[in-house]
Amino acid sequence: MKIKPEQLSRTLNHDELPLYWLTGDEPLLMQEAADAIRKHYKEKGFAEREVFNVDKSFDWSHFSQSTGNLSLFSDKKIIELRLSTAKLDDPGKKALQHYLSDLNPDFVILISGPRLDAQTLKTKWFTEIERHGAAVQIWPINRENLAPWLVQRLLRDGIRADTEAVHLLVDKVEGNLLAAMQEIEKLKLLAGEVSNETIHLDAKTVLQVVADSSRYSVYQLVDSALLGDIARTQKMLAGLKNEGLFPLIILSAIFRELRSLLPMLEKKQQGQGVNAIIQSARVWSNRKQPVAAALARLDTQTVWELLDHSRIIDQSIKGMSQANTWDELSQLLLRLSGVELLAAQKIAAK
């Protein structure tokens, strides 16, 4: 069965499952989910742990031998498989299927790895794994949900932050939850742990104490532009540039998004509703809002113009044009965000 991270505690308390698969790209939430599973089963007597780091050279016979060895003393054990890639090779699939066909109640299998794509989740071998265990899909916390998440984490540590302070924290730690937790620990220490009183956090303290640790992905950048958040999109682009990301990666993500928008916009022109279009295009639930905002704002002519601009940027990256790649990307994203071209040129020139 597929469950959300917030359902994990209830699942652990109500179901004794032989296997848990944690899939996602958010290190902190992945770590916390794994810790919760380890803690639960340690309290159930699973005192031993065996960890396998699975890469392309991993020999699955080691896993089969470990799960096939019966202990005279019936020691309960957690066996962890830490995947370096999202997809398993054929020997890995067969090893797991073989184990699930003859389960040992003294073992719990904990698999953790990068986010699985929709196609993998629908395969026969993975649905068989789901039938026996739980797949915990861990999504990154988007900007809209980051503020409530920070408020909850701050309160858990005895810190009550005002609205402005929370907004500043969001700007400084977005996309980097590990950094967020480090900053919360720093705030606790600087406030001085006096008695059990609640610590009050204001914007001034955040500005003085919290470093800008925000990190962004290309996908967050595209979604921000689709939402029409101009300032945030430009901040993300500057951050990715400072990280040394090759601009072709950004351009490719934008190009793919523009190509996927075209058939949806054509259906919109034919009179179909936005919700129906998004449903038929099988847009991921966490991306429905950005895509809907783009469909409401853009038309096919604009998208074709943006695709033409993308080709110019591609030429600049490959040295076939003297245009400044990063300036052109900024222009492209401004237009995608909803800024008219002449206005975009004025903004970029400032």
The pLDDT of residue 233 is above 70: yes
Q: What is the CATH number of the domain that holds 52?
A: 3.40.50.300
- What's the confidence (pLDDT) of residue 129? 86
Domain interval for residue 196: 143-209
- Which of 296, 216, 311, 328 has its CA nearest to residue 259? 311
Q: What is the CATH number of the domain that holds 153?
A: 1.10.8.60
- What's the confidence (pLDDT) of residue 187? 78
User: Which of 16-43 are b and which e, b meaning 16 or more Cβ less than 10 Å from the residue's Cβ?
Assistant: eeebbbbbbebebbbeebbebbbebbee
Question: In angstroms, rounded to a whole number, what is the distance separating the alpha carbons of residues 333 and 193?
Answer: 45
Say if residue 103 is in the same domain as residue 155.
Answer: no
- What's the confidence (pLDDT) of residue 349? 47
Say if residue 8 is in the same domain as residue 129.
Answer: yes
Q: How confident is the model at residue 196 (pLDDT cuts 50, 70, 90)?
A: low
Say if residue 196 is in the same domain as residue 236.
Answer: no
Q: Is pLDDT larger for residue 350 or for residue 34?
A: 34
Say if residue 133 is in the same domain as residue 149.
Answer: no
Say if residue 204 is in the same domain as residue 238.
Answer: no
- What's the confidence (pLDDT) of residue 343? 41
Question: In angstroms, rounded to a whole number, what is the distance separating the alpha carbons of residues 39 and 43?
Answer: 6
Say if residue 122 is in the same domain as residue 147.
Answer: no
Say if residue 160 is in the same domain as residue 99.
Answer: no
Of 94, 120, 138, which residue sits at a domain end? 138
- What's the confidence (pLDDT) of residue 179? 84
Give, for 79, the enclosing helix (H) or strand (E): strand 77-83
Provide the percentage of residues in the chain whose pLDDT is more than 90. Answer: 46
- What's the confidence (pLDDT) of residue 227? 94
- What's the confidence (pLDDT) of residue 70? 58
Q: Is pLDDT larger for residue 21 or for residue 118?
A: 21
Encoded amino acid at 10, one letter: R
Read off the pLDDT of each residue in 234-261 and give the average, rounded to a whole number: 92
Instruction: Render pLDDT for 326-349 as a digit per residue (tens, 0 to 9).
Output: 999 999 999 999 987 544 444 444
- What's the confidence (pLDDT) of residue 195? 46
- What's the confidence (pLDDT) of residue 180? 87
Say if residue 195 is in the same domain as residue 230.
Answer: no
The pLDDT of residue 300 is above 80: yes
Determine which of 16-20, 26-30, 210-214, 285-289 has the lowest per-residue pLDDT on average: 210-214
Q: What is the CATH number of the domain that holds 240?
A: 1.20.272.10
pTM of the predicted model, to two decimals?
A: 0.64
Q: How confident is the model at residue 29 (pLDDT cuts 50, 70, 90)?
A: very high
Say if residue 234 is in the same domain as residue 113.
Answer: no
Say if residue 258 is in the same domain as residue 342.
Answer: yes
Question: In angstroms, rounded to a whole number, what is the distance separating the alpha carbons of residues 26 and 31?
Answer: 9
68: helix, strand or coil: helix
Say if residue 130 is in the same domain as residue 161.
Answer: no
Give, for 97, the enclosing helix (H) or strand (E): helix 90-101
Read off the pLDDT of each residue in 226-235 and give the average, rounded to a whole number: 92
Determine which of 76-90, 202-216, 258-272 has the lowest per-residue pLDDT on average: 202-216
Q: How confident is the model at residue 282 (pLDDT cuts 50, 70, 90)?
A: confident
Say if residue 109 is in the same domain as residue 179.
Answer: no
Q: How confident is the model at residue 81 (pLDDT cuts 50, 70, 90)?
A: very high
Read off the pLDDT of each residue in 250-274 and give the average, rounded to a whole number: 93
- What's the confidence (pLDDT) of residue 86? 84
Beta bridge partners of 135: 2, 21
- Please tell me the total count of domains within the chain: 3
Question: In angstroms, rounded to a whole number, what is the distance separating the alpha carbons of residues 212 and 197?
Answer: 28
Of 209, 238, 265, which residue sits at a domain end? 209
Q: Is pLDDT larger for residue 284 or for residue 245?
A: 245
Of 117, 138, 159, which residue sits at a domain end? 138
